[in-house]
Structure 1
Amino acid sequence: MKGRSCWEPRAVRSLCNSGCLSKLNQDDSGDEEPTSQTDRSEIQGTLKILVSKLDDLSTCNDLIAKHGAALQRSLSELEGLKVPVEGGEKIKAVNERATLFRITSNAMINKVPMALHYISCGREFRKACRDFLDLAETHSRRWQRALQYEREQRTHLEETIEQLAKQHNSLERAWREAPTLVSSPPSAPTTNKGSERSNKEEASDEDEDTEYFDAMEDYPAFITVTASESTQHRRSHSNLSGASGGQPSDWNQDDHMSPSCNDVSGRELQPRRQRRSHIPDKPNYSLNLWSIMKNCIGKELSKIPMPVNFNEPLSMLQRLTEDLEYHELLDKAARCDSSMEQMCLVAAFSVSSYSTTVHRTAKPFNPLLGETYELDRLEEFGYRSLCEQVSHHPPAAAHHVISQRGWTLWQEITIASKFRGKYLSIMPLGAIHLQFHSSGNHYVWRKVTSTVHNIIVGKLWIDQSGDIEIVNHRTKETCQLKFSPYSYFSRDVPRKVTGVVADSGGQAHYILSGTWDDKMESSKIIQSSRGGSGSEGKQKTVYQTLSPKLLWKKYPVPENAENMYYFSALALTLNEPEEGVGRTDSRLRPDQRLMEEGRWDEANAEKQRLEEKQRAVRRRREADASEAVDEGREYECYQPLWFHQRRDSITGETNFVYKGGYWESKERQDWTMCPDIF
């Protein structure tokens, strides 16, 4: 029979002991792991069983071949006999079936060696996979340990840097406040060669009369040098570069402000009404801010449903009114004859509005649409302030202040905010307008970006950064203010603000310096010269100035302020109950009042009720608008009660301005036109 050698057991044994199976045994013998020893024993046992089965199959094959051949010979002999036709056909059919049986048997047995080959290859592939997984797990654990080590080192480095930064700031503050530095600084050397003087000043970092400022956005880097008394006296009668352009100088050695601009160390008048000086202490409610905000990354802050636990008991309208904390700066500016001096005070006022935010990391209440807030200080300080929430999406508030002491301020502020995970950015959009009645000077500026840090972990802290450009649209004079962002590696004092006041031709007249949480000073420029190039390749301007004079100083915080949300003296009075206010005033907002009283659970429930009520009103308004469109008639959108949109003739922008009527309604105590929002 053909193919008989394929049935021999020794051929199968040779196949089992060579090729892929022998290679598999060699690989297994080199495996040192206990699990591979077990697998090798199982494989060898299985191979022995297969060999014994093959011997049985080979014996069966021999018997089948032997009996099959005998059967075919017998059938062939039967075919040679003379039998009826029907019997011959049956014998032929039996012969064909016997042949088919022999072929099938041979084919079946011949498959066994090939199957063993496939089994051995599969076993090898499985072992290779197992080895790969073991290797990957080993390296994965090693990589995880390395990653964890790097994280720990990074955390340790950050803590070390933060500690060094704090020590640096403490040493710097101690150096600045040292008694030896209180005395008058040594006079700066005088010379007729401005370039030689500037080069010497650039070369020395220890000259106490020299102060270095960052480059402004539209100005080159500059250095200020405080002139000595003899130099001031000698140059006060000379027309030097950087002087006041030929205008009569109101500046003198004792006070470089004109006599009409009085000292601002205290308030001009004491309030006639005794205002409250404290509120209930903040309860100790613990709540994880990250658990709420982790699903809100990238969303607008106004669209995040926040419990009152992260609020302070003031609305955004009241926070906007806090810009008037140092209103006396504007009273003083209104009396200035020089527009340059007036610009310095306006710049100090714009910086002072941030002084209350240094510890105020809590979120104010989002005003309801149509909510208002009035601050009537006409009898005490001569001004009246009114705010109204004129839009809900996007949230926008309009503010108008008029003072009997010669100025009017108005603004429309839209708050754009983004949560970035580690920090929260708050970008106030909109312009602030200030106009003085007697001179007609119209100033316009915008706010900088506020950033709340350590949202995920650590103590919350707030920073202000960016540039402010104040423009007097009547005279075209400008002031460039730069709020330096806080940095661990900066040599500057934290919260630093620098500025340059220039005339319409771009010539600088005053240097402003200070911090947005403490004070601002101004120094009049009496001479300027070009110095050498700085580290960044920019040419520096050296300004020689008079001694700096105080423009603004922050009031001390009230006693126990840390337990009263770090409110200032003015902020403590903003939510004080007052009779005669409009029905939509923030003082009457129930959830805010409950929070101030320390009943936070009730405040949260009330806050949800007010927000759902506002949503229901908006849905009804949308349904009315849809119905009007279907019927083909006009539908008037929501209109604020006390403000209307107008285009500003100076800036060309369209914003909400006060249209009048509120204070007249207050005198009549007629609030029937006010919507029911609470």
Structure 2
Amino acid sequence: MAPTDPKQVSNGGFFASIASSISNFGSAMHKSVNGMIGYEGLEVINPEGGTDDAAEEAQKGRWKQEERDGYWKMMQQYIGSDVTSMVTLPVVIFEPMTMLQKMAELMEYSHLLDEADKCEDPYLRLVYASSFFISVYFAYQRTWKPFNPILGETYEMVNHRGIRFLAEQVSHHPPMSAAHAENDHFTYDITSKLKTKFLGNSVDVYPVGRTRVTLKSDGHELELVPPPTKVNNLIFGRTWVDSPGEMVLTNLTTGDKVVLYFQPCGWFGAGRYEVDGYVYNAADEPKVLMTGKWNQSMSYQLCDLEGEPLPGTQMKEVWRVANTPENDKYQYTHFAHKINSFDTAPKKLLASDSRLRPDRYALEKGDMSKSGSEKSSLEERQRAEKRIREAKGQHFTPRWFDFTGEVTTTPWGDLEVYNYNGKYAEYAESVKNDDSINTVDVLSIEFDPWQYGNVAQQ
């Protein structure tokens, strides 16, 4: 019988060493240094390797000592809770980008989906498609937190490989976002509802969501189930991100699938970034092995039914991370800077667009004090709008996405599914020939995601 995951591959040959390391997946542990820093339940690890002493490592981070101590005392009451939207966080830990913009970062390597659509081999197309989903983890390793979107907030992106991308915040409690992207080769649709568990100095993030890609050449539909993510050393130590677990990408049309294992990070970075797995046919027989690092590159090689490389074949690279700016304050890629700029914005930008948020813009300009006050103001206006809406006995209705009525089950909870309703394409067409938009200063547009008018005045 053919192996159903890399742990069952035979002991000999190239891929056996990968299999043996995966077999230790469940036993990876981080050494506790509670006694060194005086707080119970905290772990410190140097994920990049090196010889830093653990106690010294524990004192590193973006917080001043008094800030860490005060914030730790405040956050203790939330241990074990979902803190996705119940806690007001200081801007010192934020990056000048929203979660909607972060969703758009996946489009940086969208050419991989173009190649998947053009590929006639059913297994290699899954190699391209899964590498596309692996590529975003390079951006996800940034330890700065994006701003939570305001209800009704949007983000639009054009001028990138013929793609039009649109995201909208469709729910505040629980926080949910929906996005749609499309070009000549594919459509991409996602409903995202993050679920978190705060553990003191770390937080587990569970991707309760549904991601589907439709390839236009033959209509094949792909569905993704990503692994959870853990953010370590939130308050004490050097913050770092890991995503140990299993990623599964299934061709819903044929039953073929990719199963990739994200290795957990061990002491001094052992195993960090490593991804290994197989492309399987509908009969669960391995056809292609894949290996690489999610912060660097992915490669593939044809294999036999035992999961071993076929004689006469070679490992071929399918994706490699692009060059990045040196010493960037927020560890942004060149594409992340494009996402934050108005270069990727349509001429007629929606007033609800993330780029126009005054707190985000102030942080981008380095004014942390103004960013904090603007963030508090937006959050209070959001609460005010909710009171007005409830007083009128009405419900918030997203503008560009519709609730389908479907509630689907994910490994981490149920999800209410939203679909793109097509109205944005109609809107974009209607303003395409509006010459007056060429005279508008984008920065003069006031951020306005509000469904019930100017709540500040009301």
- The equivalent residue for 2:153 is 371
CA distance in 2, matches of 1:666, 1:674: 20
Instruction: From 514, 522, 530, give the equivalent of 2:300.
Output: 522
Q: Which runs of 5+ in 1 are unaligned?
A: 1-200, 218-283, 530-540, 626-635
Question: Per the alignment, in what secondary structure is the counterpart of residue 295 of structure 1?
Answer: helix
Question: Per the alignment, in what secondary structure is the counterpart of residue 165 of structure 2?
Answer: strand
Alpha-carbon displacement from aligned partner over 1:356-387 (angstroms, at most 9, x marks no partner): 122x101100000000000112xx51110000
CA distance in 1, matches of 2:20, 2:418: 36
- CA drift of 1:332 comes to 1.0
CA distance in 2, matches of 1:591, 1:649: 34
Q: Does 1:568 align with 2:333?
A: yes
Give the residue type in structure 2 aligned to 1:428: P
Q: In the TM superposition, what are the counterparts of 1:8-27 in structure 2 within 5 Å?
A: none
Alpha-carbon displacement from aligned partner over 1:48-89 (angstroms, at most 9, x marks no partner): xxxxxxxxxxxxxxxxxxxxxxxxxxxxxxxxxxxxxxxxxx
Question: Per the alignment, in what secondary structure is the counterpart of residue 517 of structure 1?
Answer: coil
Q: Does 1:552 align with 2:319?
A: yes
TM-score normalised by length of structure 1 = 0.52
- CA drift of 1:560 comes to 3.1
Give the residue type in structure 1 aligned to 2:140: T
Alpha-carbon displacement from aligned partner over 1:8-40 (angstroms, at most 9, x marks no partner): xxxxxxxxxxxxxxxxxxxxxxxxxxxxxxxxx
Instruction: From 174, 197, 200, give the equivalent of 1:421.
Output: 200
Question: Is residue 466–residue 484 contact of structure 1 (8 Å, CA) maintained in 2?
Answer: yes
CA distance in 1, matches of 2:20, 2:417: 34
- The equivalent residue for 1:337 is 120
Question: Is residue 403–residue 418 contact of structure 2 (8 Å, CA) maintained in 1?
Answer: yes
Higher strand share: 2
Q: Which runs of 5+ in 2 are unaligned?
A: 1-9, 24-61, 435-444
Instruction: From 597, 600, 620, give the equivalent of 2:368.
Output: 600
- CA drift of 1:639 comes to 1.1
Question: Is residue 641–residue 674 contact of structure 1 (8 Å, CA) maintained in 2?
Answer: no
Question: Is residue 478–residue 503 contact of structure 1 (8 Å, CA) maintained in 2?
Answer: yes
Give the residue type in structure 1 aligned to 2:404: R
Give the residue type in structure 2 aligned to 1:655: V
CA distance in 2, matches of 1:596, 1:489: 33
CA distance in 2, matches of 1:467, 1:624: 45
- The equivalent residue for 1:643 is 401
CA distance in 2, matches of 1:465, 1:331: 28
Q: Does 1:511 align with 2:269?
A: no
Question: Is residue 385–residue 450 contact of structure 2 (8 Å, CA) maintained in 1?
Answer: no
Question: Is residue 497–residue 515 contact of structure 1 (8 Å, CA) maintained in 2?
Answer: yes
Alpha-carbon displacement from aligned partner over 1:194-220 (angstroms, at most 9, x marks no partner): xxxxxxx948xxx87864325879xxx
CA distance in 1, matches of 2:353, 2:87: 24
Question: Per the alignment, in what secondary structure is the counterpart of residue 246 of structure 2?
Answer: strand
Alpha-carbon displacement from aligned partner over 1:94-152 (angstroms, at most 9, x marks no partner): xxxxxxxxxxxxxxxxxxxxxxxxxxxxxxxxxxxxxxxxxxxxxxxxxxxxxxxxxxx
Instruction: From 164, 168, 173, give the equivalent of 1:388.
Output: 168
- The equivalent residue for 1:328 is 111
Q: In the TM superposition, what are the counterparts of 1:207-218 in structure 2 within 5 Å?
A: 211-214=17-20
CA distance in 2, matches of 1:309, 1:337: 49
CA distance in 1, matches of 2:217, 2:162: 16
- Tell me: higher relative CO, structure 1 or 2? Use CA pairs within 8 A at least 6 residues apart: 2
Question: Per the alignment, in what secondary structure is the counterpart of residue 352 of structure 2?
Answer: coil
Give the residue type in structure 2 aligned to 1:429: V
Q: Does 1:469 align with 2:248?
A: yes
**Distance change (3 Å), C-alpha of 1:211 and 1:548:** farther
Question: Per the alignment, in what secondary structure is the counterpart of residue 557 of structure 1?
Answer: coil
- CA drift of 1:552 comes to 0.7
CA distance in 1, matches of 2:15, 2:384: 64
Alpha-carbon displacement from aligned partner over 1:453-499 (angstroms, at most 9, x marks no partner): 12242111111111111111111111111111111288x64211111
Question: Per the alignment, in what secondary structure is the counterpart of residue 302 of structure 1?
Answer: coil
Give the residue type in structure 2 aligned to 1:575: N
- CA drift of 1:528 comes to 3.9
CA distance in 1, matches of 2:214, 2:20: 30
Question: Is residue 139–residue 333 contact of structure 2 (8 Å, CA) maintained in 1?
Answer: yes
- CA drift of 1:292 comes to 2.1
Question: Per the alignment, in what secondary structure is the counterpart of residue 547 of structure 1?
Answer: coil
CA distance in 1, matches of 2:279, 2:423: 38
- CA drift of 1:295 comes to 2.7
TM-score normalised by length of structure 2 = 0.76
**Distance change (3 Å), C-alpha of 1:294 and 1:403:** farther
Instruction: From 177, 181, 185, give the equivalent of 1:401.
Output: 181
**Distance change (3 Å), C-alpha of 1:617 and 1:673:** closer
**Distance change (3 Å), C-alpha of 1:323 and 1:520:** same
CA distance in 2, matches of 1:677, 1:575: 26
**Distance change (3 Å), C-alpha of 1:467 and 1:673:** closer
Q: In the TM superposition, what are the counterparts of 1:476-487 in structure 2 within 5 Å?
A: 476-487=255-266
CA distance in 2, matches of 1:393, 1:673: 16
Question: Per the alignment, in what secondary structure is the counterpart of residue 213 of structure 1?
Answer: helix
Question: Per the alignment, in what secondary structure is the counterpart of residue 618 of structure 1?
Answer: helix
Give the residue type in structure 2 aligned to 1:495: Y
**Distance change (3 Å), C-alpha of 1:663 and 1:615:** same
- CA drift of 1:307 comes to 1.7
**Distance change (3 Å), C-alpha of 1:434 and 1:215:** farther
RMSD over equivalenced CA pairs, Å: 2.9
- CA drift of 1:285 comes to 8.3
CA distance in 2, matches of 1:216, 1:649: 34
Alpha-carbon displacement from aligned partner over 1:164-210 (angstroms, at most 9, x marks no partner): xxxxxxxxxxxxxxxxxxxxxxxxxxxxxxxxxxxxx948xxx8786
- CA drift of 1:665 comes to 2.1
